[in-house]
Every structure is written in structure tokens, then in C-alpha cells.
Amino acid sequence: MQYVDFDKTEAFRQLSALCNKEKDFNSLLSPERVKASTVTMGGGLSYSWAAKGVEKAELDVLQALADEQDLTGKYKALLDGEIINTGENRKVLHHLLRGQLGKAVIAEGKDLGKFYAEELERFSIFAELVRAGKIKGATGQDFRTVVQIGIGGSDLGPRALYLALENWAVKEGTGILKAEFISNVDPDDASRIVSSVSLEETLFVLVSKSGTTQETLANELFVKGKLQKRNLDPSKHIVAVTSETSPLAHNPAYLDSFYIDDFIGGRYSSTSAVGGVILSLAFGPEAFKELLAGAHEADKLALKPDILKNAALLDALIGIWERNFLGYPYTAILPYSQALSRFPAHLQQLDMESNGKRVNRDGSPVRYSTGPVAFGEPGTNGQHSFFQLLHQGTDTVPLQFMGFIDSQRGDDVTVDGSVSQAKLKANLAAQIVAFAKGKADSNGNKEFPGGRPSSLIYGKRLTPAALGALLAHFENKVMFQGFAWNLNSFDQEGVQLGKALTKKVLSGNSGDAALDAYSEILEVR
Amino acid sequence: MQYVDFDKTEAFRQLSALCNKEKDFNSLLSPERVKASTVTMGGGLSYSWAAKGVEKAELDVLQALADEQDLTGKYKALLDGEIINTGENRKVLHHLLRGQLGKAVIAEGKDLGKFYAEELERFSIFAELVRAGKIKGATGQDFRTVVQIGIGGSDLGPRALYLALENWAVKEGTGILKAEFISNVDPDDASRIVSSVSLEETLFVLVSKSGTTQETLANELFVKGKLQKRNLDPSKHIVAVTSETSPLAHNPAYLDSFYIDDFIGGRYSSTSAVGGVILSLAFGPEAFKELLAGAHEADKLALKPDILKNAALLDALIGIWERNFLGYPYTAILPYSQALSRFPAHLQQLDMESNGKRVNRDGSPVRYSTGPVAFGEPGTNGQHSFFQLLHQGTDTVPLQFMGFIDSQRGDDVTVDGSVSQAKLKANLAAQIVAFAKGKADSNGNKEFPGGRPSSLIYGKRLTPAALGALLAHFENKVMFQGFAWNLNSFDQEGVQLGKALTKKVLSGNSGDAALDAYSEILEVR
């Protein structure tokens, strides 16, 4: 496989030549275009790119870019177990958690697809037993609450997915174990959660791949202290999710342990035991398996070389067009679904931690912009907040909308002739058109310049399968962008310096007088 | 008062001439500078600008800008009741909610300072009666939960403040009425909250200044329907916060009503009844009054013309330096405090809705960048997420850190020789220095370019007074930036177009075929 810097490609030169023509979104956004510009994503979802400023000319060169950089070929190499994470010398195997699409991946004699499937079965059975009241707490009481202790990818993804399915599960009557999350090293976080649950009825899921995460270990000991104070044996109330080489593995201090390995990156671990244990406990293993099936469907579609049939690839390429040639340094994620309230925070990690890089996969500085700042909040809430800048600010922010035809609970009210779900969707449709077309006005303050590009992901209802496809779509989008930019999207060296300095501060010898001065005003010690 | 476009000032020319010199943050960030570069903010807080790339040369011109645009003079005119909100022809009086700093403001014969103070007393007494069990629900049960129904400024600010003080109140033993919030028109939002509370023990606070907000009225009727289904008289379970001219005012359908007026903008209304009723119910009116006192203290300090004695003014000017002359289009808000988890979302509205404008206060397009994109999450969580891009991305994002010496609950654990609160602060100090100084490395992937500017707001503990000062600091910062850019920071015409198109969609006659096509794929009707 050949890896080439983005600006060395022929497509880069061609795209640079194209980007000076300003688009007229008023003529661009025809009803025919809206109806025709949709790609199937899996999980019952569709990706609509009608309100993006790309036409045949741009799409042709974007296709040429995909071909020249062999983006789907690189994806296949990843699936087959190539060392894609060059910085850490690791395979990248989160797709394999959802099913096999390439060759069997063997490492040190172990079939990893089989290993992941076995772990899935192990924690599915465990979750069933807990949910059936066959595994109980130290006092013999049923578990009614699950609390995940983890940070970063062990928190944001699983939390976003849990919130996304809570209402769905109520409606489906799957029976819910309520989930909470402790992530921050701020002791107020752990203290608040622990004091809000009934410890006798609480199962903790301790998640750290390395078993050495500072925040997670501190919170584990915080929780253990509280359990012991109540005379509850911690080994009856904590399960571990970790790698087999970690100090947490095969440890009788835990009720049970479920394993991942180094080929599952933190921000890509939601479909492993990292997300799977808590989601299976909360909603039942069947719901989690449906999520995996939705993700697998999206992963499969991402193999198609034709960009108009591959939503993740097309989304990635349009993002590159906007980032490198239109110069937009950010992207807003706007789900019209309260269930997805924390999904933007997960995508923020996924995107910014993967492609927020300034060197290529060989460690040489790149000469072009890479990952954008990603942020967002659910609509309609955002409309009453930061949408002002999106509509009438001095800069253009590309927008990623999401919406569903039906609500999750189906519990609605008719006011002024429409149900709330219809109002939600009417707002969504109206925003897309308002951003694209704008409005002329003789009063400058009431004028909308328009030309704000957006895409829309939509589907019938936010189910586990739809959620899995949504998750995988963005994982694959970010992966394709990383390939096009010739980055290693799967390491995170940017976290190391702060970690090292923190240790020095806590050891009392920072070696930096300015750092000591900050430590002094914050009274660290 | 003279209002001049930013690029017509002499300071603009001088700042443009200054901005080509790259700063060496390694030599800049000396321990002496860290100790000397702090400004008092009120509420026991301090603003440290040591890790911002400004020295005497920049500060002198920024002071000249403040003087030339008479930023504190414009603030005084606002306090005295001038029509600062030109687009809506309104005074801007949220400072008056916290106490009087200028002349008495009289409108239509009414002393508005007195009016706000009277409303404060009315809802303080009401909150005391509810908390004492002297006002009860329809079945005679005490109220134990308060649910705010509101969106935008009626949601984000109050919610952020509630979460910020929940742990404080536990520790202080003020006695808490638990608060929840319904905001989105997504019916799953209201359904989830309403089904999670005991309606007999729940008091709803319905908040809409105009009394016509689509989302809020839909959610009101949703809630009323649920109350009626349980045979609970809604007029015993809902209080209104609105303006006296709204359809909700003086309405026997509500248990009581508390008033604001058109001079309190939504995103500036947290210190009015909009935030005051729910916070006084949740934590007691004394806590809310302490918050007002902290805000008032910050408001008073914001009057100082010397930028090195006025934290809000200095913060505003450094932001302008970074936005207009260094070209950074965003700013990250990073509280090292889980209690402030939703404070970035409030600041996102405050900043982006106020200064996300492309025309000046007279409606003419400006020729310079205005408000940046603001986003953020609490630390240390962000370190395990999007900090990768902040450290090693291709672009520079200015950073706003916050931290406290003590936790709110004082419930902590020692692990590896330090408590979690010390780890939290050590991480904070380490990040500031890592961002500023970076680290050279022969491996490009492990190199940190540094030069990432940050400021730090810190204090002893996050109390109501500290929180009030923090809130007011940002309100005043945004105000000063708006003055310097010659914007009207107090209207939000950008929300109108989407609202109008939504109504058309729901009426069945959108008048736009592309909009109809979107409505069709989303099955709006």
C-alpha cells in the first residue's frame, strides 16, 4: 500500500483549481436535487448531501482523490490486519468487533475475530445473569444500577450510546438497569454519583485498557473505600474491562473481567466490551447485538469505491473539500434528537483526537490543514443559542444535521394542529433551507447571507441498529479523512506531555519554574 | 456616545502593525510573569493572563483601544439606561438585577431597579414557603422536585448554574429541591423527565418572556396533560416566569407568576427570575442572593478604565487581539471542575448569540471578524478527548481554563500520595505549561509546537458568590467585545428566518419547493 501526502496528489492540484467559484445555493438547492442526493448508510439511515456545495465537477475530482489515494483499498488493508497505527506499531481492529469483512486476523497464533466474539458472548451471558437476578450484590440484593468508571473513550462513547437508547428501551420494555458514569478526577464527580445510588444494588464497571489511567484508578479506590465503609465486599460489586496484559486482568479483586486488546483504540472502543458490558447490562445483550449489526452494515457499505454509494467516504471527501479548499476550520454537529444530546461530545473526541495531527504517518510535518474543531448541541435547543452565529456570523461553519421521522417513546401532544415530533422535523427542514438559501433584506440586521452548507442524516427511528450505523459512519468518515491526509488517525501522542508534567508536579519536582508558580497559585500541594 | 466601526480606529491600525512578531512562549512564561499577571474578578476569583501572548507593546495599544472606543464609558451609558439594543430599541438592564451602579433607570414612570428588587423579594418569599412545606401540591404533598420548562436562555444558564451549585449545597446542608429541565420540542425530552418524577411532588417553572415560544408552550401543554391525567390541578403545580405583557402574565392558570421585562435578554436572564426562581427553590433564596452579590462585585470592577485592573475588559481585549490580529476563529472553555460541566454550553450561547453578527449596530456589514466559535468540556475529561488537536493540530485554539483550590464536597481519597483534588489541579497547571511551552522532539509525532495561549480563572472554591462573579465576568467580556466591534450584542435576528420557515412548513404552505422536498423525506406532516 502506498501512502502519499495529500498535497502531492494530482487531485489536490485539481481541487485547488476548482475552489474559486462561489456557489449560488439558491439555484443549487432544487427539489430534484434534494430527492436525488441521498446515500444509504445502513441501519435504516440515509445520508443527504443536497445542501452541500458540491456538484459534478467537484464530485468527479473527489472521486479521483478517493481512487488516487486508494481510500477503500487502505480500509481493506486495515480490515486485513495491516499495521495502520504506525506510531504505536499496532493493527486497528474495531471493525472486527462487529463482524469479519476481510481476512481472518491472526496475532501471536490467536484468531482475533474469534477472541472478540468470545468476549461478546461472555459478557452477554454475564449481563443476562445480572438482569435475571442470578448474580447479586454482597448483601444478596439484585443489581438495579450500573456505574461505569472510565474516562475519554471509556466514558464519552458509552455514555452517548446509553443516553441515545434510554427512551427506546422504555418503549420496547426491555427492562432497564439505570446507568451512571464517573469519569473526572475531580472528586466531586465520584462523590456526587456514589452518594446518589444505593450501593447494595450497584454494580461498577471499571474500564481501563492499560489498567494505569490515573483518573480511573483514583476513582476506583474512591468507590472501593465507600463500599468498604458500608461493609460491602468490592469483589462482589466491581467488574473490570481491560486488556489481558493489564494489572486489572485475571484479578480476584473483581467479580468478573472482560477483555479487549491493543488493537481497539479508546475512542473506537464503544462496540467492544468497553461499551458492550454497560449497554448489555442496561438494555440487554440483544439490543447491543442489534447495535453491532447496524455498525457492521455501515462498515460493509464503506467498502464501495463509488463515492456516491459510500456515505462515509462521501462525507469524508466533502469535509476535506470544505476544510482544505474552502478553508472552514470547524464543523457543527446538530442532532434533532434529545437522545443524541451527548453524541456530539463523542464525535468531538472521535474526530479531533483522531485527525488533530500536524505530522503525517511517518512523523513529518504536513503542509495542509487536518482535522477541524467539531462541536455541537441538539436542536431545537441550539436554535435558541449559538445558531445566531451560524446564520449571521462573519464566518461559515459547515453543518451536520441528524433527525428521525418518529420519536422513540411515541408519547406526544398536539398543540396548534401539530405534534411536537412534527414541529421538531419542521424546524430541522426549515433550518437546512434557511442556512442554504438565506434571505435578502433592506435592513442589514435582518439579512441572511445563506451559502451555509449542511448535510442531513435521517431515518425512521433511533433504534440500536440505527445508532450502530451512525456510530460506524463517523468512525469510517474520520478514517477516510485520515487516509486522504496521510495521517495516523489511531494514536494520540498529544496527551503525553501533559501527563508527564502532571506526574512531575505531583512528585514535587516539576523542573519548570513557571509550572511551579502555577502550582503555587493553585495550592496543588 | 460615539459609536465607530472597529477598523476605523487608530488602535486597529496600530494593532495590525504589531501582530507580525511571533512570541516565544518559552521565554515569555517566566515564574515572575505568572505571579504578576493576575487581576481580581470579584467573588474571590482571579484572572491570570500570564500564558497569553501579550506584553507591554500589545497591552499599551489594547489600553488605547479601550480608551479610544470608550468601552467603560459605553458600559456606563448602558447602566444609565441608554438604548444599547438598537435593533429592538431596548435598554439593556441585566446588571440592575444585581444592584444599582448607575443612575436610577425609569421607564414609563417605573423605577426598574425597584421593580427587579421587588420581584426578587416576591420569589424569595415564595421559595421559602415552598421549601418550608407551606405551599404544597394539589394532593397536599410537599414539593420535592422542581422542573423548569424553557429553552435557550431560559434553560442553558439556569441549568449550568444549578449543576454548578448542587454539590456545594449538599456540603452546606442548605437542603435541596432537586431540579430537572425540559427544553427541547423533541417529545422524548418532556416524556423522559415527566415520567421520571413524582408529579404529586413536582413544581413546574414555566419560563418564556414573550409567552409565545413554540417549544415551551408545546411542553407546557404536554405537562398539563400529564398532570390532568393524574387528576392534579395544573394551577397548583405550575408557576410562570414571564413579562407582564405576555399571555402568561396575571393568569389564574398558574400558582403564581414572577416578572421580568424586555430589558433582560434571554441569555442575560440567569440573574433574573428566569434563573432566580428555580435556584431559590433548589438551594434557598440566600444562595441566590449570594450569587447576585458576586455578580454585582464583578460588575463594579468592570467599571475600571485601567485594563490591568478590569478582568472582563482585559479578557475582552485579549480575545480581540487573538480573533482579529492573530486570526484564531475559535476559543475553548475548559473548566477543571465537573460542577461546571454545562457552563461551556451557557457561554457558547452567551458569546455566539451576542457577537455572532456581521453587521454593526446600524445594520451595515462590518469588514472584520466578530465573535468566535466557543466550545468546551470539563477537564480532566477533555484531556482524554479533543485536547489532542489542541496540542498537536495544525491550527491554534486559544484556551480559557478555570479551576478551584478546594473541591465543593470535600469528599476525597488519597491515591499514590495525593488526593484527587490535587491531581485535578496538577493536571490543570501542567496543561497550561504544556500548551504554552510545548516540547521539542526528534520524533515529529512526539513534538509539541507550544505557543498555544491560555488564561486561567481561579479561586478558593466554587461558591454562589464565585459563580455569580464568573457569570458576570463573561457577560461583561462579551459586552466589551461587542462595543469594540461596534455590534449590537443584545438582539438575535438570526433566529427569525428559521422560525418563519418552520411556521410555513407546519401551515402546509412553505412556498419553497426544496423545503417541501425536505419536509417530504422527513415526513413532517
The model's pLDDT over A146-160, given as tens digits with 9 standing for 90+, comes to 999 999 999 999 999
CA distance between the termini of chain A: 52
Domain spanning B6-93+305-493: which superfamily? Glucose-6-phosphate isomerase like protein; domain 1 (3.40.50.10490)
Work out the average pLDDT over B386-396: 98
Residues 6 or more apart whose Cβ sits within 8 Å of residue B284: B127, B128, B131, B174, B175
Residue A110: which pLDDT band, with cuts at 50, 70 and 90? very high
Q: What's the confidence (pLDDT) of residue B251?
A: 96
- Which of chain A's residues have a Cβ under 8 Å away from the Cβ of B366? 394
Chain-chain contact of A384 with B430 (C-beta, under 8 angstroms): no
pLDDT digits (tens, 9 = 90+) for B395-415: 999 999 999 999 999 999 999
Residue B176: which pLDDT band, with cuts at 50, 70 and 90? confident
Active site residues of B: 353, 384, 499
Q: What's the confidence (pLDDT) of residue A449?
A: 96
B1 burial type by CB count under 10 A (0-12 exposed, 13-18 middle, 19+ buried): exposed
Which of A492, A523, A518 has its CA nearest to residue A90? A492
Inform me whether the pLDDT recorded for A272 exceeds 80: yes
3-state helix, strand, coil in chain A (%, to 5): 50, 15, 35
A107-291: what fold?
Rossmann fold (3.40.50)
- Which of chain B's residues have a Cβ under 8 Å away from the Cβ of A438? 497
- How far apart are the C-alpha atoms of A524 and A505, rounded to whole Å? 8
- Which of chain A's residues have a Cβ under 8 Å away from the Cβ of B501? 429-431, 433-434
Preceding omega of A394 cis (within 30 degrees of 0): no
CA distances from B224 to A8, A323, B207 (A): 63, 47, 15
3-state secondary structure A366-412: CCCCCCCEEECCCCCHHHHCCHHHHHHCCCCCCEEEEEECCCCCCCC
Q: In Å, how far is A87's CA from the nearest CA of chain B?
A: 8
- Which of chain B's residues have a Cβ under 8 Å away from the Cβ of A34? 514, 517-518, 521
Chain-chain contact of B185 with A420 (C-beta, under 8 angstroms): yes
Inform me whether the pLDDT recorded for B81 exceeds 80: yes
Residues 6 or more apart whose Cβ sits within 8 Å of residue A393: B352, B356, B357, B358, B370, B371
- How far apart are the C-alpha atoms of B243 and B251, rounded to whole Å? 12
Chain-chain contact of B429 with A515 (C-beta, under 8 angstroms): yes
The packing angle between helices B464-485 and B156-172, to 10°, is 160
Residue among B217, B371, B373 minimizing CB distance to A375: B373
Which of the residues A7, A155, A394, A491 would you substitute to probe the B interface, choosing the one with the greatest number of B C-beta atoms within 10 Å? A394
Q: Beta-carbon neighbour count of residue B140 at 10 Å? A: 8
Residue type, A280: S
Establish whether domains B6-93+305-493 and B103-291 are of one fold. yes
Work out the average pLDDT over B192-200: 97
Inform me whether the pLDDT recorded for B174 exceeds 90: no
Which of the residues A90, A154, A186 would you substitute to probe the B interface, choosing the one with the greatest number of B C-beta atoms within 10 Å? A186
Q: Which residue has the cell 461546571?
A: B340
Residue A19: which pLDDT band, with cuts at 50, 70 and 90? confident
Report domain extents, chain B. 6-93+305-493, 103-291, 494-525
Grid coordinates in use for B257?
Answer: 407568576
Closest chain A residue to B403, measured at CA: A522
Mean pLDDT of chain B: 97
Work out the average pLDDT over B470-486: 98
Work out the average pLDDT over A106-122: 97
Residue B175: which pLDDT band, with cuts at 50, 70 and 90? confident
Cβ atoms of B522 and A425 within 8 Å: the answer is: yes
Predicted-assembly ipTM surpassing the 0.95 threshold: yes
Inform me whether the pLDDT recorded for B13 exceeds 80: yes
Q: In Å, how far is B237's CA from the nearest CA of chain A?
A: 19
Cβ atoms of B187 and B195 within 8 Å: the answer is: no
Q: Which residue has the cell 495550592?
A: A523
Residue B369: which pLDDT band, with cuts at 50, 70 and 90? very high
Beta strands in A65-158 (DSSP E): 106-107, 110-111, 145-149
Chain-chain contact of B349 with A386 (C-beta, under 8 angstroms): yes
Grid coordinates in use for B460?
Answer: 478558593
Q: Could you tell me how many CB contacts below 8 A there are between chain A and chain B? A: 497
Catalytic residue of the set A8, A309, A460, A499 = A499
Inform me whether the pLDDT recorded for A174 exceeds 90: no
Which of A290, A296, A288 has its CA nearest to residue A127? A288
Chain-chain contact of B413 with A221 (C-beta, under 8 angstroms): yes
Closest chain A residue to B30, measured at CA: A514
pLDDT exceeding 70 applies to what percent of chain A?
A: 100
CB environment A441-459: b (16+ within 10 A), e (fewer): eeebbbbbbbbbbbbbbbb
Residue B76: which pLDDT band, with cuts at 50, 70 and 90? very high
Q: What's the confidence (pLDDT) of residue B287?
A: 98
Work out the average pLDDT over B136-149: 98
- Which of chain A's residues have a Cβ under 8 Å away from the Cβ of B499? 430
| Whole-model pTM over 0.95 | yes
Half-sphere exposure of B523 (CA within 13 A, CB side): 10
Catalytic annotation present for A171: no
Mean pLDDT of chain A: 97
Work out the average pLDDT over A303-325: 98
Residue type, B16: S
- Top-level CATH class of B103-291? alpha beta
